[in-house]
Structure 1
């Protein structure tokens, strides 16, 4: 099977690009299942209508990260929909859930786990390494393929997770930094890995933000609330090819341009 994973969707521009290109990318890559990070669809967070837009564009599962609750309107939606995941290692009283088992191709069962890192993040979630251990143990025998998104800032933490889960899950990919990395690989024990998928949104920007606003912030100037940059966009991510038995045999980066008319 092939699993298509798409990096953080940024703003309405990112949603437009996703609608224009996702189904084409799925067809061109032969993907059987699609997972999209949607936590920046509203800039800081995601609204229920935007989550629905991501599903309408072709996603099977939507993942979130540190902005999971950036828009409070999403809270009841998380409790009502099992196919949108917030990080599993947030406080246990958090709304929604951090993992799910979904129907995959040819009757397979896909365990999808969403985790958040702790290095250089501004709050204290549970240890993601211990959390993923618990989830895998609790679900033994209930799934055929396990897939892990790690929404984290530090490349070292992401790499460590990739090796920690090598041979135990089929794929580990990173999100959050919005810059696609060129280190896609299959780790020694058969787990596909990439440090960051990149983002889906305007590429003439600083992580999706208007260039002048980001420069002003780094200069120390007073700035208004960040706005999504205008202009042409790209959809970025990766495709993991997984053979029967759960081993990944290839990882391929995806980057498709969307011209704004």
Structure 2
């Protein structure tokens, strides 16, 4: 059962750089959960870095107002996905805020925003990279080649701790990227499916990995959306507009600790809270 208390997600963790990541924030319920629960989580767990995937914060895409609410609650870096460019209002936000990312391999270099950033924490700099998958997804450049280039740039800046949000559908593609990154990246966490997986682990070379961290939104609907329209599409085959479910707020993600000296993941655990 989800933990309804604001507990310390790092209570059993070793010393190191504390990283807290959250899955796709879905609609007002997801934003509300971040606003109401995250400040208490930060107060009890003192993470050095908080990352959330915000690409569904307004259902399909993220508007500046939602981003501002999540940043005010304590999210330091917001990542994106296949819906990032959908609201035109997001384009200027992506250009102006280097800590709001879009998938690095999803659009040409001339498109708004960036797919990577370096965030300074009390325990040292962290490189954050946002990637999109190619399997069952919109057209994108190779996430493997894009990762290779980003690692080189981070290394040139003396960044040892690297975190990757891999926004992808296929579990095999996510696992393959984690093994490709192993020994060079601290944490690879999957997003996009809105369903948390039970495989959080540390690979042989020290890369923390989970196939999907889940979502922040209502667990009473269907992947954060109201059931009615989705059922109608399945039953009739006709297009239906999906609306975010607002009946509950739950936060799903992963807490991890990385060595500031080597970049290796020392500890990883799935976390979940409900409001």
TM tier relative to shorter chain: over 0.9
CA–CA distance in 1 between the matches of 2:47 and 2:119? 15
2-structure distance, mates of 1:185, 1:139: 24
Q: Is the 8 A contact 1:15 1:53 kept in 2?
A: yes
Quote the Cα distance in structure 1 between the aligned partners of 2:150 and 2:185.
Answer: 12
> How far apart are residue 84 of structure 1 and its match?
0.2
Distance 1:47 1:147 in 2: 24
> 3-state DSSP class of the match of 1:101?
strand
Alignment pair present for 1:141 and 2:152: no
Deviation at 1:223, TM superposition (A): 4.9
Unpaired stretches in structure 2, ≥5 consecutive residues: 1-16
Q: Which runs of 5+ in 1 are unaligned?
A: none
Cα separation, 2, equivalents of 1:183 and 1:57: 28
The whole-number CA distance in structure 2 between the counterparts of 1:230 and 1:246 is 39
Q: Name 1:130's counterpart in structure 2.
A: 145
What residue is the counterpart of 2:10 in the other structure?
Answer: none
**TM-score (norm. length: structure 1):** 0.95
1:207 aligns with 2:223: yes
The residue aligned with 2:46 is: 30
Contact 2:232 2:240 in 1 (8 A): no
Of 8, 12, 15 in structure 1, the residue corresponding to residue 31 of structure 2 is: 15
1:186/1:251 contact within 8 Å kept: yes
CA distance in 1, matches of 2:177, 2:129: 13
Q: Is 1:100 aligned with 2:117?
A: yes
1:131-173 deviation per Cα after TM superposition (whole angstroms, max 9, x unaligned): 1101111332311211111000000000001111011010000
Q: How large is the Cα RMSD of the aligned pairs?
A: 1.2
Give the distance between the partners of 2:70 and 2:156, measured in 1 at CA: 31
Superposed CA deviations along residues 162-210 of structure 1, whole A, max 9, x for unmatched, are 1110110100000000001110000111110001010000000111111
CA distance in 1, matches of 2:237, 2:133: 30
| Alignment check: 8 A CA contact 1:6 1:35 kept | yes
Higher relative contact order (CA 8 A, sep 6+): 2
Report the count of equivalent residues: 256
